[in-house]
Structure 1
Amino acid sequence: MADPDHNRCRGKDRRRRTVAAGPAAEQRKIAACLTSLDALIAARGRKLAALAAHKKGLMQQLFPRPGESLPRLRFPEFREEGEWEERKAGALFANRRTKGEDGLPIYSVTMHDGMVRRDSFDRDFYDIEDAAGNKKVCKDDIAYNMMRMWQGACGVAPEDCLVSPAYIVLAPESGVLSKFFEYFFKLPESLLMLTSYSRGLTKDRLRLYYDDFAKMPIRTPGVAEQQRIAACLGSLDAALAAEAQALSALRTHKKGLMQQLFPAGEG
């Protein structure tokens, strides 16, 4: 049975609590201000989603579908060029096995952001930190996580650096633009192929060794067309990053504004 004295105390506590509220006109003004910010945030969010969808659709057209030798969309200056040549991945990329050197930054490979400096992460790493225990990656090499390549965990090195010995380092051959192939490896069809060439009894144990990667057949255009496609998609990436930054700034602005528009709680 509930204690009547306890209930009376709770009732008194509720009556003592007050919510500060300005005049009705001020309330309406604040609500209108925040509603307009919500509308701006929603519009930015829609624009960001539309840009991401546009990039995804464009990538599907700029690369040939499985079993085809030409993309559905080609830049005007390359429409008279021949079919994309099928080559083995091992003819496009060599397996770099150079030991690390002192003084180089250590990078990690992520699924969504490519290669990222370890010192930019807000956490500690406890694996090998000495240079000799890591692999050297040269600028414009592609490094991939052999346990996560089937999910798109790869990236192009922005500078000479070091990576974990668990990674595979791909050194591009002449006429091979790494950034173009980084985009290629992110395609859904490519991820299926990367999965099929990986070894493991279950998905969480899949590993893509270089010798298996080297056997993959890949359609590729000349280096000039590779550069054109990579530049096009790179400009979309820059636009996406700018929109994401603008959206984040709007959300931060709204949060700060709300803290100023309402009285701070006491106690």
Structure 2
Amino acid sequence: IADFFRNLDHLITLHQRKYDKLQVLKKAMLEKMFPKNGSSVPEIRFKGFTDAWEQRKLGEILQERNTRTSDFESNPLYSLTIESGVTPKTDRYERSSLVTKTEDLFKTVKPNEFVTNPMNLRFGALGYNKNAFTVSVSGYYDVFSIDDDKCSGFWNAYFKTPTAMNIFDNAATGSLIEKRRVKYSTLQQLAFYMPNDLSEKAEIGKYMDTFDHLITLHQRELEKLQNIKKSMLEKMFV
């Protein structure tokens, strides 16, 4: 019994260390692969890309989406969280109470389209649909396509950098501090340094998405092992 739990603790520690290491590495790369402090180039770039990034308004590459639905069979209901981005609602979530007979209150989000929460955008409440199918989210959220959905991974990472968070925070408006928000109309007016070459955006996005994928894998494995340990503690002792 002691050996069993010793091995389980060892596995939990390994995955925790890998998870923590990936989080630290991702944070460092977010700061180095995107411009900061008014610079037009990031500290680290992929080989073959040398042109300076140009400052452009997001409105030049954003296209708002406002298709409504209450058909959760065809468009599974998803939520938006700061931690996980666009993620499925839990099985315990009651959907029947959300369906209205008079109007469709939920917005559809096609693959690679973005979702932001105006109220919490400055805290990182954003993400894009990584599924191969269309989902639906609260009608309160802003849904849009950016760069024709070709570089969603790039923008998903960029929008979570300290530089972007500062831009969003400065742009937020509202009479109460806790209710300040970044409306879609405001988002369109914000200027960001960005590469003209879509292939550079795609390379950066692919790299950052790999981080997210590995972090999620280790997080799931860690949670799985912790649940197994909890279950075995309850069953292997009188």
> When the two structures are superposed, what TM-score results if normalisation uses the length of structure 2?
0.85
Q: 1:115 aligns with which of 79, 86, 90?
A: 86
Residue 257 (str. 1) matches residue 232 (str. 2): yes
In percent, how many aligned pairs have the same letter?
Answer: 26
Aligned pair in 2 of structure 1 residues 132, 54: CA closer, same or farther (>3 Å)?
same
Q: CA 1:96 to 1:62, structure 2 compared with 1: closer, same or farther past 3 Å?
A: same
Q: 1:241 aligns with which of 209, 213, 216?
A: 216
Aligned to 2:54: 85
- Indicate conservation of the 8 Å contact 1:101/1:136, yes or no: no
- Structure 1, residues 212-251: CA drift from partner, whole Å, max 9, x if none? 1111111111211111111111112221122122222322
Q: Distance in 2 between matches of 1:84 and 1:215?
A: 18
Instruction: Tell me which moved more, 167-176 or 68-77.
Output: 167-176
- Aligned partner (choices 121, 137, 157) of residue 163 of structure 1: 137
SS in 2 for 1:109: strand
Q: Which deviations, in whole Å up to 9, do the C-alpha atoms of 1:175-227 show, x marking residues without a partner? A: 85122111111112211211111111333211211111111111111211111
For residue 52 of structure 1, report the CA deviation from its aligned partner: 0.9
TM-score by structure 1 length? 0.77
Kindly provide the amino acid, as one letter, of the partner of residue 65 in structure 1: K
Number of aligned residue pairs: 231
Match in the other structure for 1:57: 28
Q: Which runs of 5+ in 2 are unaligned?
A: none
Task: Indicate if the aligned counterparts of 1:48 and 1:243 stay in contact, CA closer than 8 A.
Answer: yes
AA of the residue aligned to 1:241: T
More helix by share: 1
The alpha-carbon distance between structure 1 residues 237 and 54, as it changes in their structure 2 partners (threshold 3 A), is: same
Alignment of 1:73-222 (within 5 A): 73-78=44-49, 81-100=50-69, 102=71, 103-118=74-89, 120-124=90-94, 126-127=97-98, 129=100, 132-157=104-129, 158=131, 159-174=133-148, 177-221=151-195, 222=197
The answer to which structure, 1 or 2, has the higher relative contact order (CA under 8 A, 6+ apart) is 2
* Structure 1 residues 249 and 107, CA gap change in structure 2 (3 angstroms): closer
Give the alignment's Cα RMSD to 1 decimal. 2.4
* TM-fit CA distance, 1:170: 1.5
Once the two structures are TM-superposed, the CA of residue 83 in structure 1 deviates from its matched residue by 0.5
Cα 1:128/1:66, change in 2 over 3 Å: farther
The alignment partner of 1:262 has SS state of: coil
Larger Rg: 1
Q: Which amino acid aligns with 2:124?
A: G
